[in-house]
Structure 1
Amino acid sequence: MAVVKLTEKRIRDLPLGAGIFRDKDVKGLMVVSHKTTKTYACQGDVRRNGRHVRTVRVKIDRCDRIGLAEARRRAKAIMSTIQSGVDPTAGPRQSGVTVAEALEAHLSERELRPSTERSYRDHLERYLVRLRGRAVADVSRQDVRELLDDLTRKHGRTSAAGALRTLRAVINTARRMDETIGANPVDAVRVPVPPRREVDALDVAAFWKETEELSPVMRDLQRAFLFTGARRSSLLTVRRDDVDLERGVLRFAHMKTGGELLFPMGKRMTEICAVSDHETDLGILLAEDFGSS
Structure 2
Amino acid sequence: MAPNPRSAKITKRVIGALTPEGARYTVWDTQLKGFGVRVAATDTKTYVVPYRMIGGADRLLQIARHRVVTAEEARERAAAVLAQVASGGDPQLTKFERREELTMAGLCDLYTAEGTALKKASTLQIDKIRIARHIKPRLGRMKITDITRRDIERLMVDVDLGHIRGEATPHTRGGIHAAARRRDRFLSQAELARLGDVLTQMETDGGDPRHLDIIRLLALTGARKNEIARLRWSEIDREQGLLRLADSKTGAKIIRARETRLAVTVYVANFGKENFAWPACLARSEVATCRAARTWRRSFGPSRRASAGSTSSSPTPPSAPTRRWARSRTRSSRP
TM-score range, shorter-chain basis?
Answer: 0.5 to 0.7
Q: Is 1:239 aligned to 2:210, yes or no?
A: no
- TM-score when scaled to structure 2? 0.48
Task: Please tell me whether the aligned partners of residues 243 and 250 of structure 1 are also in contact (alpha carbons under 8 angstroms).
Answer: yes
Provide the rounded CA distance (Å) in 2 between the counterparts of 1:232 and 1:205.
21
Alignment of 1:202-281 (within 5 A): 202=188, 203-215=191-203, 216-257=209-250, 259-270=251-262, 272-273=263-264, 276-277=267-268
Counterpart selection for 1:93 from 88, 92, 97: 97
How large is the RMSD of aligned CA atoms in angstroms?
4.2
Give 3-state SS (helix, strand or coil) of 1:269's partner.
helix
Task: Structure 1 unaligned segments of length 5 or more: list them.
Answer: 1-6, 9-21, 28-65, 164-191
User: CA 1:274–1:200 in structure 2 vs 1: closer, same or farther (change >3 Å)?
Assistant: closer
> Partner of 2:31 in structure 1?
68
> Partner of 1:194 in structure 2?
179
> Partner of 2:156 in structure 1?
148
One-letter amino acid of the counterpart of residue 287, structure 1: A
Alignment of 1:126-165 (within 5 A): 126-128=133-135, 129-155=137-163
One-letter amino acid of the counterpart of residue 152, structure 2: V
User: CA 1:139–1:275 in structure 2 vs 1: closer, same or farther (change >3 Å)?
Assistant: same
Shift of residue 96, structure 1, vs aligned partner: 0.9
> Partner of 1:292 in structure 2?
288
User: CA 1:25–1:116 in structure 2 vs 1: closer, same or farther (change >3 Å)?
Assistant: farther
Q: Is 1:114 aligned to 2:121, yes or no?
A: yes
Task: Structure 2 unaligned segments of length 5 or more: list them.
Answer: 1-7, 16-28, 38-46, 51-59, 66-80, 82-89, 204-208, 281-286, 290-335
User: CA 1:248–1:149 in structure 2 vs 1: closer, same or farther (change >3 Å)?
Assistant: closer
Task: Please tell me whether the aligned partners of residues 235 and 286 of structure 1 are also in contact (alpha carbons under 8 angstroms).
Answer: no
Give 3-state SS (helix, strand or coil) of 1:214's partner.
helix
Shift of residue 80, structure 1, vs aligned partner: 4.0
Give 3-state SS (helix, strand or coil) of 1:70's partner.
coil
Shift of residue 83, structure 1, vs aligned partner: 4.9
Q: How many residues align?
A: 199
- TM-score when scaled to structure 1? 0.54
Rg (Cα) greater in structure: 2
Give 3-state SS (helix, strand or coil) of 2:244's partner.
strand
Provide the rounded CA distance (Å) in 1 between the counterparts of 2:11 and 2:155.
39
Question: Deviation string for 1:106-162 (max 9, x for gaps)?
Answer: 232323222222211111111112322332122223322332333333449xx9xx7
